[in-house]
Each structure stands twice: as C-alpha cells, then as structure tokens.
Structure 1
Amino acid sequence: MSIVSNGYQSGFGNEFVSEAIAGTVPVGRNSPQRVAHGLYAEQLSGTAFTAPRHENRRSWLYRIRPAAMHGTFVPFAQSYFHNDFGDGPVTPDQLRWSPLPLPQQPTDFVEGLFTMAGNGSPQAQTGIGVHLYAADRDMHGRWFYDADGELLIVPQQGGLHIETELGVLDVVPHEIALIPRGVRFRVALPDGPSRGYVCENFGAMMKLPDLGPIGSNGLANPRDFLAPHAAYEDAEGDFELIAKFQGHLWRAPIDHSPIDVVGWHGNYAPYKYDLRRHNTIGSISYDHPDPSIFLVLHSPGEHEGVSNMDFVIFPPRILAMQDTFRPPWFHRNVASEFMGLIHGAYDAKAEGFAPGGCSLHNSFTGHGPDAATFEKASAADTSKPDYIRDTMAFMFESRAVIRPTAQAIDAAHRQREYQACWQGLRKNFSAT
C-alpha cells in the first residue's frame, strides 16, 4: 500500500522540522533518554561531523525501529546496474542511443537500471555513474539505498511515486528527484510503464551554483526545491532491503518497512524540483553566453569553477541575439557531455535524437548542429526573436572522460551511424 504525500517544505539545504504525529520531534535536544511515542532516535550524517557549519549536512530521525535491524547481506544479481566503466581504450567517436526499450517482462525500478557510462569510483569518492531506467511494475516488499552516491533521477516517461524514509516525492516528467546517499526508498509507478535517466554522484554533494555577476536572482531558485513532510508506514512481513555498496548490489531480509520515520529534523533530505521553474538567462544583444548559464545543480570539484559534475538543462526560451548563429555552435570541450532529451525536439538536431534517447560527446570530440539545422539557422531572419517552445533537454557534464560501458557500446539501441548527421555539411569556402 502506497504512502500518501503529506505535502512539501520549500528551500534547498534548509533546516527542516517535520512530524507525522504531533509532539514527535523533541524540543531543545536531539536524543532524549526517551523519545515520544516509544520511538528510536537515529542520526543520518551526509558529511563529516566536523565539516564547516555551512557545509554540514545531517538529519535526526525518530523512527519505529533503528536502521540497524535487518538480516545479513548477500550478493544480489542485477548485472546491468554497476560501476564497471572499464580500464581499456575509450573511443573518441560521437555516440548516440535511441530510447531504452521498455521491459518485456515485469521489472521494477531497481531491476530496470541500465548503466551507460561513468568515471571515477565510489572508493575514490569522485566521479559519476550514468544510468537509464525502464520499469513497468512497483517495488513490492523491497526497498533500496545507494551508499556510493546521491541519485539525481530525471523521469522522461511516466511519473514516479518515491517513498523515502523522510517522506514522499511524487515526480513527473519535467521534474527531478534528488535522493541523498544512504536514504532508503521505494518506487511505485502511478502512470504505468516508466523510463528515464539517473546520475549517480560519487563526489561532493550537489548544490546550487553561485550566481556571480548575474546577481542575487536567476537560474534555479532555492525556494522552488521541495523537501517532503514526514510520512511513515508501520508494516511487518517478509521483505528485502537492497543496498549498493562499493559498486556492488547486496540483499538482506528485513521483517518490517524501513519507511518508518514518524518525525525528523535536519538539512540532509531528499528533494524534488520542477525544471520548468528555471529562470533562464540569455543574450539580448549578440552572440551566445557559455552554456553554464543553464546550470541547475553541480557537484563541486577540488578546484574552484571546475565541477565533479554539472547538471544543465535546455528549457523553452527566447533567442533574441541579432546577426548570430542561434543554435548551439560547433564546439570541442575539455569537459565531457552526456545528454538526454525529456520532451520535444532539441534545437541542434533535426532528427534522430528522440525523447528518452541520449548521446555522449567526450573530451575534445567535435560536435554541434547537424547539417539540416546548420542550413536552416544560417538562413534564418535574426531581426526577429526565435521562440524555442515545447522542449526540455539536459546534460550531465563532467570534468573527466565519461567512459561508456561495454553493454552500452554493444546495445541494440545504439545508433551506429550517428556520425552521418554531419556528413551533409558542405564546403562553402570561397577565397573571393
């Protein structure tokens, strides 16, 4: 039986207080000798205890049973979801895939995860894993947590009802969910078969970017990030807990639902965010600003301005720059780009890049608009604004090479003739 959402609390990184039963959260202390309603106090820490106050993330949970109560973990078989990014050569080719096919047999969210690419490792606490998911059934009697990284979930088809220890997130396409490391959750599919993307962040926790000369407003506003109110279930039975730990999956029996937190307070919490609320910044004179203006969240790296991971979106917007080639220009980047399409069409590709599909352009691999897009944009009337409507694309960007997995390279839905989209670009040069 699904837990119903009790609504949301607004703000990113806030100190929240939430209780499903009044009087659950103690006042003036975190771990009293006896917690109200016979609950257990448990701290969930996402950072080191001694991290600076402005970076410290932790929450106190008041729950029916402690998280320590479960059976022994044994390996769990799901061979498509892993962190094996290989150690051999990585092709510099541009790569693109059609949407991941929906399952032909009953498959839940965990069973439907398919690893596409990644870099770094959970052991090094740096890098990312990039995954797709395709599922057609709810997680019944099963919960999951990822001890290796926080999960950024981007639905493309079908909504997700995500029941976490701290409350419920109902997420639909054009929204995202952010699940912190270690938080247990279960996914139901209220709209039937569902498909989307997941970025597993092994590095520093994602945060909102600084705005610099943009000022105090713009891009993603903190108040538009929504954390859940406490919601719990008191259920007993023959259940299982799936854990991802050091790149491998494990299963332990558990005789109760771990979604049993009656109240909590803190700033280590899951969130949802509606990408349509992003306040997009752009040029109103000529030329393009760099695409960093589309940044929603990032995982900082060791050097200022160089991220472990950036999450960038390309939403509906107005292009007003005059005498300017308006689609994304041809480019080669020091960073590597994994791109997906949630809805509509992407303005740099005329065809072949479908909602649910994805592409990978690694470090210094040339890419940009296809031949048809180039011809159309080169002849456009730039004295008038161009309204980009009915679209939503995104990018997981990394400072390091994103290594495609062997199963992604061999996948039937890989578009092996992707490079042909640039072959129609004509030689227009004339010395006179």
Structure 2
Amino acid sequence: MTNMPPQWERGTTSRQAHVGLPPGTVEEEHGREGFYGPASHLYRLHAPTGWTGVEGPAVHRAYDTGALPPTDDALWPTLIVGNDQVAIGVQRIETGRPEFLRDADGDLCWFVHQGTGTLRTEYGPLAYAPGDYLVVPRGTTFRFEPAAPTHLLGIEAIRSRYQLPDRGLLGRHALFDPAVVEVPEPEAIDEEGEFVVVVKRDGHDTRITYPFHPCDVVGWKGDLAPMRLPVDAIRPVVSPRYHLPPSAHTTWVADGFVVCTFAPRPMETDPEALRLPFFHRNVDYDEVIFYHRGQFFSRAGIGEGFVTFHPTGLHHGPQPQARERDAEAAAGNGSAPRMADEVAVMVDARQPLHPGPEAASMEVDAYVASWVEGTAPRP
C-alpha cells in the first residue's frame, strides 16, 4: 500500500485535477517520473505555450518522414532522434534487399505505417500490414520481404529488451490480452546458394556468408520469439470523467524508455472534465510521437507519417487550433460521446534524445510557432 503524499493547496485551484478548472484558467501539470511521481497543478491565466519565440536546442521539432525517399539502398533505419538507450528512425523499402539482418545491439520494434508483406525470420514468417507492431528480439536473423512498398518506424532498444508493462490493478489482460500476440510457425527453407547475413554490433556491420538458407529451422520452443501485435487489437483504457495521462497507453517497456499507443477511443463526456491533454513540461522524459492515421486530438496541421519531438523543459500541450476544434465539436455534439479517432505511437525516453545527421532533411519549418495564436502549423 502506498502512503498518501502531502497535498498542499494555495490560491485558486480545482479540487480534482483535470476537472472543473477555475473560470479563465488553464491547467498545467508539473510532475515527475512520467506522471507517476510527485506532481503539482498550476492554474494559469495564460497557456504556457503562448510564447512569441523559442531559440536553442530544446526547441520543439517536427519531421515529415514521407520526405525520405523510398530506397532499397539502406540496410538499417535512418535515425531521427536517439541516445545510448534508444534509436528512433524510419525506413522506406520498395522491393527489399537480398541480405538478412541480425541486430546484436538490441531488440527492434517496428511499426508498419504503410505496406504489406512478410517479415521473414529464422523462427518462421510473420505477415504484416499497416498498423502492426513487429518486435524482433536481439540477435534474431530476419529480412523484410515486401509485397508492396513499405514505410516503417523503427525503435531500437539498445542493449535492452522489450517487455509488457505491469498493468497493476487493471489485470494482465487489460489493453490487450497476451493471447492476441502472434508468434511465427516454423517454415524451414532447405535451399543451397550464397546467403548473406549482416550483423550489426556496436553500430558496425559484419557480413557472414552461408552456403544454405539461414531460415532452416524446423521447430522451436521457449519464451523468446519475434512477435506481431496489430494496433486494432489494443483496447485502450478510458474514463468518461477524468482525462488519463499518456502513461495509461503504455504498450512496451524497455530500459530507459517506454512505447505508448494512442488508439481510437471515446473521449470524456463529463462536461467539467478536460478532453484535451493538460499542459506539461516533460520534466523527466523527452517525448517523440509518430502519427500513423486519423486526426490527432491535440494537434492541428500534422500529417500522417509525421514525427514530433518535444524535449524536456519546454512546455507543450494542445495547440490553439486543436483547442478551438475541440470546443466547436463539444458545442455541436452536446453531451454525446465523441471519439479520438487516431493511431499514433509515442516514445518517452529518460535520457536526452538528439537528432540524427539526416533528420534535418525531413524537418518541418517553424513547428514550434504552431502554438502561437493565429499562426497556422506548417505541414
């Protein structure tokens, strides 16, 4: 049992966080440990994102990954942002390469944005389609075999592994039943020839050549294997009377970061409850979001396949256009339930993230200005 922490209250506040804000105020959560730790709520007269300019390395950034041309030249994803624990990149494959890959640096989590095909692994094949998570354990031999051009978000857990989060009082079947996770059936290929496996270790590639097909496994058993989780199998936790923080949508955990999934879900119906995210300043985690489909409920002017990067220290929350859109929808629908019709992948990293050398070619101009009243975002 956790002891109740002290709760100080000064000035004009709401009795319940995220509900019944004092008229004329906006709420900001100043919290630690990614919404799990100590926190206070500040009730402000102005949105803390109402700046007229931001300069320096902590500026919010956005990237259009569709600007990366499709190619079969790259073996590994193009880095957008990363650190010593996680590398977040994008890869656009046309027909695929002949080599097989093996990442000896960490687990790989792929999210399929576009395309269909087969993830060929030594454990067996996994068919993939848009909206699929594909988790490839460290040291697994694999290859993408696209049936259609494929656009992937890649999240590498460096020297770590992916696990399911502890769902606490919700129980182990909340969000998704582990039984919906698909693992491969063996499909041994007995074929002679010249087959190359590229092993990435400490960021450098080593090529191994075999006279037989590397996917020659006739059977396997154990609790380590490639996995497929379709996003449509995720059943988000929701509350009609309280806006839940992003941590409620945690899908995968690894050392130094978490992966969360924003999936379609009903929005709050209590007229006093916040429906859009509360303002916060990411004290302990850098935040990256990949937008897969739909209309992201706290953003305007962000297209499918975009990535946003919100470093620690600088406030963020709903943009003015999103707040206006939410107010108009609420006025038009009364108390009827509304849906957050979106699919997005969020990565929260404990250590500071840094843009990769090729990220600038995908960057969206003046994204940080999209919080300025009357300034349209620039997709």
Q: Give the TM-score category using the shorter length.
A: 0.7 to 0.9
Q: Displacement of 1:318 after TM fit?
A: 0.3
* In 2, Cα distance between equivalents of 1:404 and 1:340: 15
Q: SS at 1:263's partner residue?
A: coil
Asked whether 1:295 is paired with 2:250, we answer: yes
* In 2, Cα distance between equivalents of 1:235 and 1:145: 20
2:268 corresponds to: 320
Q: Displacement of 1:388 after TM fit?
A: 2.3
* Equivalent position amino acid for 1:326 in 2: R
Q: SS at 1:377's partner residue?
A: helix
Equivalent pair of 1:103/1:136 in contact (CA under 8 Å): no
Gaps of 5+ in 2: 1-55
Aligned pairs, number: 315
Residues 85-164 of structure 1 correspond to what in structure 2 (within 5 A)? 91-101=57-67, 103=69, 106-107=71-72, 110-111=74-75, 113-120=77-84, 127-140=85-98, 142-164=99-121
2:235 corresponds to: 279
Residues 37-56 of structure 1 correspond to what in structure 2 (within 5 A)? none
Q: Displacement of 1:216 after TM fit?
A: 4.4
* In 1, Cα distance between equivalents of 2:171 and 2:211: 52
Identity %: 26
The CA deviation string for residues 56-103 of structure 1, in whole angstroms up to 9 with x for no partner, is xxxxxxxxxxxxxxxxxxxxxxxxxxxxxxxxxx81010101123353
Gaps of 5+ in 1: 1-89, 121-126, 302-307, 427-432
* In 1, Cα distance between equivalents of 2:315 and 2:165: 27
Equivalent pair of 2:90/2:152 in contact (CA under 8 Å): yes
Equivalent pair of 1:112/1:135 in contact (CA under 8 Å): no
Q: SS at 1:343's partner residue?
A: strand
* Equivalent position amino acid for 1:387 in 2: M
Equivalent pair of 2:166/2:172 in contact (CA under 8 Å): no
1:201 corresponds to: 157
1:388 corresponds to: 340
The CA deviation string for residues 381-412 of structure 1, in whole angstroms up to 9 with x for no partner, is 462321223x211111111111112321x31x
2:4 corresponds to: none
Q: SS at 2:65's partner residue?
A: coil
The CA deviation string for residues 19-71 of structure 1, in whole angstroms up to 9 with x for no partner, is xxxxxxxxxxxxxxxxxxxxxxxxxxxxxxxxxxxxxxxxxxxxxxxxxxxxx
* In 1, Cα distance between equivalents of 2:172 and 2:358: 44
Equivalent pair of 1:100/1:132 in contact (CA under 8 Å): no
* Equivalent position amino acid for 1:357 in 2: F
Equivalent pair of 2:112/2:133 in contact (CA under 8 Å): yes
The CA deviation string for residues 246-305 of structure 1, in whole angstroms up to 9 with x for no partner, is 1112223322211111111111110001111112111122x3122111111111x4xxxx
1:43 corresponds to: none
2:137 corresponds to: 180
* In 2, Cα distance between equivalents of 1:234 and 1:326: 56
Q: SS at 2:207's partner residue?
A: strand
Equivalent pair of 1:150/1:201 in contact (CA under 8 Å): yes
* Equivalent position amino acid for 1:400 in 2: Q
1:310 corresponds to: 258
Q: Displacement of 1:112 after TM fit?
A: 6.2
Asked whether 1:256 is paired with 2:256, we answer: no
C-alpha change, 1:366 and 1:425, in structure 2 (3 Å) is: farther
The CA deviation string for residues 210-259 of structure 1, in whole angstroms up to 9 with x for no partner, is 11122343112211111111111112222321111011122233222111
Q: Displacement of 1:177 after TM fit?
A: 0.4
2:323 corresponds to: 374
* In 2, Cα distance between equivalents of 1:267 and 1:234: 25
Q: SS at 1:311's partner residue?
A: strand
1:398 corresponds to: 349
The CA deviation string for residues 99-138 of structure 1, in whole angstroms up to 9 with x for no partner, is 233536x516x53621111111xxxxxx111110011112
Equivalent pair of 2:245/2:277 in contact (CA under 8 Å): no
* In 1, Cα distance between equivalents of 2:68 and 2:191: 31
Q: Displacement of 1:375 after TM fit?
A: 1.9
* In 2, Cα distance between equivalents of 1:261 and 1:214: 38
1:364 corresponds to: 313
C-alpha change, 1:283 and 1:203, in structure 2 (3 Å) is: farther
What's the Cα RMSD here? 1.9
2:358 corresponds to: 407
1:170 corresponds to: 127
Asked whether 1:343 is paired with 2:286, we answer: no
* Equivalent position amino acid for 2:69 in 1: P
Equivalent pair of 1:164/1:183 in contact (CA under 8 Å): yes
Moved over 4 A (4+): none
2:50 corresponds to: none
* Equivalent position amino acid for 2:337 in 1: P
* In 2, Cα distance between equivalents of 1:364 and 1:204: 26
Is 288-297 or 320-329 further displaced after alignment?
320-329
Q: SS at 2:358's partner residue?
A: helix
* Equivalent position amino acid for 1:152 in 2: C
Equivalent pair of 1:99/1:355 in contact (CA under 8 Å): no
Is 164-173 or 328-337 further displaced after alignment?
328-337
Q: Displacement of 1:199 after TM fit?
A: 0.3
